[in-house]
Structures are given as structure tokens and as C-alpha cells.
Amino acid sequence: MTPSIQIANITQDWVESLRRWHLELFFIPTTVVTLATLVANPVLLACIFLSRALRQETRYLLLANTLTADMLFLILNLATVICNAVGAQIPWLVCELVTAVTVTAYCCAILTVTLMVADTYAAVRWPLHYHDILPPARTHRILVGVWVVAAVYPFTLLIIMEAGREIHHEKVPVCLVLISLGFIQLKNTVGIHTYFFVAALICATLIFYCYIRLYMVTKTHGIWQRRFSRARVTLLAHGVLLLLYFAPGFVFTLELFFFHRKDISQDVRVWVSTVNMCVFMLLPRAFAPYLYGLRYREISDTLMQLLHQHRRLSHITVS
């Protein structure tokens, strides 16, 4: 069976399961959550980049990079969900390109969130030398490196697949990251799982190490004594958000494992993929602007100043 026929059969079966269970209706909550997040994220980005003090701070630059990667992911995810819901015929090359960019945005967000934890540890561990260790110029280079690292593997796969493909004009009725990577997995069973597992293991190990060291460094300061201390609440909130960021990746790895299993029902695969794509992937990106953004007093103060200036200008204009 040729690759084109395999792709056509897989996508057609997927569409039939979507229609049978009316899962295309998931585009409604996906659209609502995405639009709400795309309203909040630009506001926080404006607060960061319009304030000279904030854009000189490493933690706010990392936050801005996370929000930017999340916005790119949400836009591509929403476009994919809508196209799949209306049954639009998408060129396979476009689908592969969207897959590569989506994986890049997701991995970039995970890497940046991991760096945010490491940045917090560095600020607490070496407060006197922190600004010398991570000046803004070095942070900019680190962020460029994060995007490059996140993009290398998915775009390498894209180039390899395109170089070995004979037909370049076929179209598919459904475009999913799972189908694109699942099809690549036919030829490289170990590579994709190894990439996601190693990347997740490195990030999780660094996060756990930083949190353990943070606790050991700060336990003598008395900030952990009260049950509802700010440190405990912050740690709990960040822990939940990190879990929400990492969980969809592990679910996606499970999806790849199920993709070619004959003993797994097609309906089960479609349900798991749809829920992960339309719910689990959106939860951390919906919470992030409010947890990471509004909990920072400097961002809240900057936002209030911008609103106050806007109201004053509006009042002057009306007068």
C-alpha cells in the first residue's frame, strides 16, 4: 500500500468516527477558550513590552515568551479544529507544516516554563549575582536558542518526509498532529517516542531539582510555617500549572502508542485525541495569563497605569 493510500484511509476513517460521535462540536468550547486567552495574552504582553522596567527583567521576558508560544499554538490549534469540523480539504504539505510549527510552539512553551522555574531558583540562590548571571541581552539569546532547539526535530522530520515523498499534491479531509507524526512513526517507531520522553525527562528532572533546592534554601526563613503562606500557595499554583502543561504531552505519547494498535478501537483513539486537543491542551494556556500574569504585582500595577492613562486620554478627547 502506497503512503498516499495509507494517509487517505487513515484520515477517512478518522472523519467517519468524528461524524458518528458528533465530535466536531468540540470546536465550540475550543473557540470560546481560545478567544478568551487570545484577549488576555496580548494585554499582558503589552504591559511587559511597554514598561522599560519589566522588559529588563528575565522572569518577565520568559513569561512573554511563554505567552507568545501559547498564542501561536492556540491560533494553529483553533484553525486546525475549525478546518476539521467543516471538513475542509487541506494539502498534506500544509498539514505537515502546521504540525511542525504546532509541535515547535508546544515544545517552546514547555522549555520556557522549565526555564522560569530555573530562573526563580537562580534569583533565590544567588540574589547578589543574579542580574550579572542573566542580563537581558543573555536572556534574549537564550530565548532564541529555545526556539531553535524546539524547532530542530519537527522541521527535520518534515524535511525528511518531504524528501522521500513521490506525490506532493494530495489533500486530506482532516489534519492532526497525531496523524502526521503517527504516519512518520511507521518508519521511525523509536525516534519520536525517544524525543518526547527524553525532552520531558530532562525538563521534569530540572524542575524537581530546582523546587527541592528552593525548599532547602528557604526552609530556614520561616516562609513555609503557615499553612496558607504565600510561598505554599505559589508553589501549589505553579505545580498545578506545570502539571497541566506536561500532562497533554504524556497523553499525546499515549495516543502515538495507540495509533497503530489493532486491538484499540478507532473510536477510542478519536475520543482521546479530540479531548486532549480541545480540552487538555487548552487548560494550561487558559490559566497561564491569570496565574503567571496577574499574580505579579508589577504587571498588575502596569496594567492599572495603562488603563488609567487610557481613561485620562479618553476624558481629554471627549472634553
246 close to 110: Cβ distance less than 8 angstroms: yes
Q: What is the mean pLDDT of residues 276-302?
A: 84
Q: Is the pLDDT score of 201 beyond 70?
A: yes
Residue 3 banded pLDDT, cuts 50, 70, 90:
low
Give the mean model confidence (pLDDT) for residues 21-44. Answer: 91
For residue range 225-264, what is the model confidence (pLDDT) as tens digits?
665 556 666 677 778 888 899 999 889 888 888 877 778 8
Report the pLDDT value the prediction gives residue 196, as an integer from 0 to 100. Answer: 78
What domains does the chain contain, in order, with CATH numbers?
3-312 (1.20.1070.10)
pLDDT at 168 over 70: no
- For residue 273 the three cell numbers come to 485525541
Q: Is the whole model's pTM more than 0.75, yes or no?
A: yes
